[in-house]
Amino acid sequence: MTGRGAGFAPPGRAIILQAVRRLVLAALAAAAPGCTRPSHPSAATADVAAVDESAAGNRDRNSRRGLIRTRPSTTHRDAASASAPTPALSESLDAVLLLPPAAYTDVYFRHYGINPTIDTEEAAVSSFALDVDTASFGIARAELERGVMPQEAAVRVEEFVNAFDYDYAQPAASDFSVQIEVSPSERRPGFHTMVVGLRARDVAGKDRAPAHLVFVIDRSSSMAKGGRLPLVQDALRALAAQLGPKDSVAIVAYGNTAEVVLEPTPGNRGPVIEEAISGLVASGSAEVDTALRLGYELAARTVAEGAIRRVVLCTDGVVTGGPDTAQALLASVADFARRGVSLSAIGVGMDDYDDVLLEQLANRGDGTYDYVDRMAEAERMFLQNLTGTVQVVARDAKVQIEFDPEHVARYRLIGYENRGLSADAFASEDTDAGEIGAGHEVTALYELQFRAPPVDAFGTLRLRYRRPHTGLSAELVQPIAAASIHSAAIDASPSAKLAMAVAAYAEKLRGSYWIRGVDWPAIEAAFSVIPGDWQRRPEVAELGQLIGVAARLDRRSDRTDRDLAFSRLDFERMPVLQ
């Protein structure tokens, strides 16, 4: 387990002390001659970000070596332990067990840090790979529903935001439509929130390419818990009912051994498919390596011009032969993706759950990563949006936003920490980015600080991607007009209000420094301004309930108050030496 309050060894009190020392020196310098307040907060906030990033970096380096494991008893804290004081250093060290490279164990997440606020005079361009994964939201929901706060490292803001539908307009004559709104931030004084919404073109069911799907199903004994395997079986049945004679489905199951339980079978052969689904029984332990190789072998047999070939992994945890095996597996997945066989990962329950590897498998496999804990979620993926789930309309999709420094002083991208790209990576044709399915929506939020209210365009959005069948690159360029700015937050559209409420909820769950002054009543207030007809949507109503549950469960102390002696310093107006 990673994240605050998880009992991991602090990444070095020295790092914290160094950061505090720099802050104290800067504070003392305020009284010195020649000292001025900074024109931007980036220098002041860098020290705080360095503490978090150094902590994440230390954990990342250990995790890549397969060295971090947490005790099962510390995987989730109850309400009493959540309010306990920070353990002594020796107790924290005792909570981290160093293991030789071996199978990933217990519940495993990685914290990718939190994006800083950036001065446009230092970097006016922000680039990131698009992402339509939603697993992080599903995992957090499952944790809250069983009465525990999700691990901060498990929260990826973009996966929360992209778990909702925003009713963006369909593109008229291109692959994507773009909707941008900017409104004053009610949580960060002096800033605005910009909501960027993209929607991919729809593909009618009759126009969908034939789909050749291979399901790799975990049937280890842990899948018998909580109805996990029956949930997967019901989802498969629902999917099979949507397939036609040009489609095919195959099944590989793995427990003590991996075996093919259904050879590629036309989608209209329902009884044969049902017999294979019904015959799945949970037993034994599991390693995914051999099963995925079998799945890819079946998928590779199907060679049809323009057909969709996809392996779908369904598991309540991923156990491999260790880091070396995991890296080899990821390389193999990437190789098959280049050959036209994609991979999607679906989590169901948690036992030896490696969130990091599942996300990487989906990223390398040009697929998506989702978490299914109920039939309604399975129906959303396989019934309501089957075409979007399997039909890709854009590969290696990435966005770049260039802000005009004359209008925009500072900005922060909310989320997408592990999807960030350099300007060179954005420009490169070889960058592996995100895959977007038909009808899918992607949303990103920024915090902006204007120098003065813009009267004309204050930035440019660029969307680059490859068309799947031709491999040819395409680019959409759109100025960000001043007309997109609302004078008051209440004037934002329902979709923008929903996106801002979801982002605030996710930021609060992950303990973001930038939302440190926002309490749960403020998050509930952000939800309350969403129009009533939107609040009555089942998924939005559920969001309101989850915010209430989190507010009741959260017993965390503020990281700044706990770890930094100078928590009352204003890190956005810190003095700096000239």
Cβ distance 168 to 179 under 8 Å?
yes
Q: Full-prediction pTM beyond 0.85?
A: no
CA–centroid distance for 278 within its chain: 33
pLDDT score, position 78:
34
CATH class of the structural domain 209-385: alpha beta
**What is the residue-level pLDDT of the chain in tens, covering all 578 positions?**
333 333 333 334 434 444 444 444 444 344 333 333 333 333 333 333 333 433 343 333 333 333 333 333 333 333 333 333 333 322 332 233 222 233 334 678 999 999 999 999 999 999 999 989 999 999 999 999 999 999 999 999 999 999 999 999 999 989 999 999 999 999 999 999 999 999 999 988 788 889 999 999 999 988 998 889 999 999 999 888 889 999 999 999 998 889 999 999 999 999 999 999 999 998 887 678 889 999 999 998 887 777 899 999 999 887 666 667 788 899 999 999 999 999 999 999 877 788 998 999 999 999 999 999 888 888 887 776 677 778 899 999 999 999 999 999 999 999 999 999 999 999 999 999 999 999 999 999 999 999 999 999 999 999 999 998 888 999 999 999 999 999 999 999 999 999 999 999 999 999 999 998 899 999 999 999 999 999 999 999 999 999 999 999 999 976 555 454 444 445 554 443 33
- The secondary structure element, H or E, covering residue 252 is strand 248-254
Nearest Cα to Cα of residue 228 among 145, 380, 345, 350: 350
Token pair in block for residue 307 = 């057909």
pLDDT score, position 304:
74
pLDDT score, position 269:
94
DSSP 196: E
pLDDT score, position 571:
52
Tell me the DSSP string of 90-111. HHHHHTEEE--S----S-B---
pLDDT score, position 487:
96
Give me the residue label for tokens 């698009």: 130
pLDDT score, position 215:
95
Q: 70 has which bridge partners?
A: 96
Cβ distance 550 to 149 under 8 Å?
yes
* Matching fold, domains 128-203+391-511+517-534 and 209-385: no
CA 172 – CA 547 distance, rounded (Å): 36
Tell me the DSSP string of 359-404. HHHHHHTT--EEE--SHHHHHIIIIITHHHHH-EEEEEEEEEEEE-
CA–centroid distance for 326 within its chain: 21
Q: How many residues does the chain have?
A: 578
Domain 128-203+391-511+517-534 has CATH 3.30.1370.100: no
pLDDT score, position 570:
52
Dihedral of CA atoms 253, 254, 259, 261 in degrees, nearest 10, equals -20
User: Domain locations in the chain?
Assistant: 1-114+558-578, 128-203+391-511+517-534, 209-385
CA 443 – CA 163 distance, rounded (Å): 10
**C-alpha distance from residue 90 to each of 7, 10, 86, 563 (Å):** 11, 10, 11, 17
CA 418 – CA 362 distance, rounded (Å): 14
CA 413 – CA 411 distance, rounded (Å): 7
